[in-house]
Amino acid sequence: MPKIDVYDIQGKKVSDLELKESVFGITPNETVVHSVLVNYLANQRQGTQSTKTRAEVRGGGKKPWRQKETGRARQGSIRAPQWVKGGIALGPKPRSYKYTVNKKEKRLAIKSILSSKVIEKELTVVDKLELTEIKTKNMVKALSALKVEGKTLIILPEKNENVKYSSRNIEGVKTILLNTINVYDLLKYNNLILTVDTVKKIEEVYA
């Protein structure tokens, strides 16, 4: 069972925390992580791109010249695809790119990334993450005390306006709620900060 140090907001170690092997100690499955990531990105696509067919472009109702005896190729409309300002043949139309993956795959992908964060020592656990006021300076000070640098994802167990708004102006730092956890954010941010409550709730859900 993996064990990790727990720090306070001043960066001092306050205790140890045993993490559940089934959530934070599995062998990462990169294939499943990739599959779930591709699904997440596909589901974010709007699919609103659209081109006009020859039936939708303006004009072209009249045959440009008679069928025979002109010496030119026969044409039925000046809005056919081969004409300038003509319709687009086989162009994109609005569509949905969404598809689903197995729920077990999603859970395995999340656990794989969490386990890799532990292996690579990119997971920081704090006893509590509370700020008395909304102030970016205080959040920067806390991150510095925890020795966290670079892209950082903070997962909160519940809404915390002080932490959320104190973090939003710090480059490379993002806060999300536990119920919005996803593969994309976990992979995008190198460092992961969890509170003890967040760890317990993750273990309840994913164990």
Q: Among 20, 165, 42, which Cα is nearest to 100's?
A: 42
Lookup: tokens for 37: 């990531």
pLDDT for residue 100: 95
pLDDT (tens digit, 9 = 90+) per residue, 83-117? 999 999 999 999 999 999 999 999 999 999 999 99
The angle formed by the CA atoms of residues 148, 21 and 194, to the nearest 5 degrees, is 30
**Alpha-carbon distance 206 to 4, whole Å?**
18
In a 13 Å sphere around the CA of 113, the CA atoms on its Cβ side amount to: 23
- Could you tell me where the beta strands, DSSP code E, fall in 21-158? 123-126, 152-156
Examine the pLDDT at 135 and tell me if it is beyond 90: yes
pLDDT (tens digit, 9 = 90+) per residue, 38-78? 999 999 999 999 999 999 999 988 999 999 999 999 999 99
**Residue 41 identity (one-letter amino acid):** L
| Pairing verdict, β 152-156 and 191-195 | parallel
pLDDT for residue 207: 82
| Average pLDDT over every residue of 119-131 | 93
In a 13 Å sphere around the CA of 177, the CA atoms on its Cβ side amount to: 6
| CATH 3.40.1370.10 assigned to 3-45+98-206 | yes
Lookup: tokens for 183: 């593969």
* Cα distances (angstroms) measured from residue 147 to each of 10, 95, 128, 143, 150: 10, 46, 16, 6, 10
pTM of the shown model: 0.84
Domain boundaries, the chain: 3-45+98-206, 47-96
CB 23 within 8 A of CB 110: no
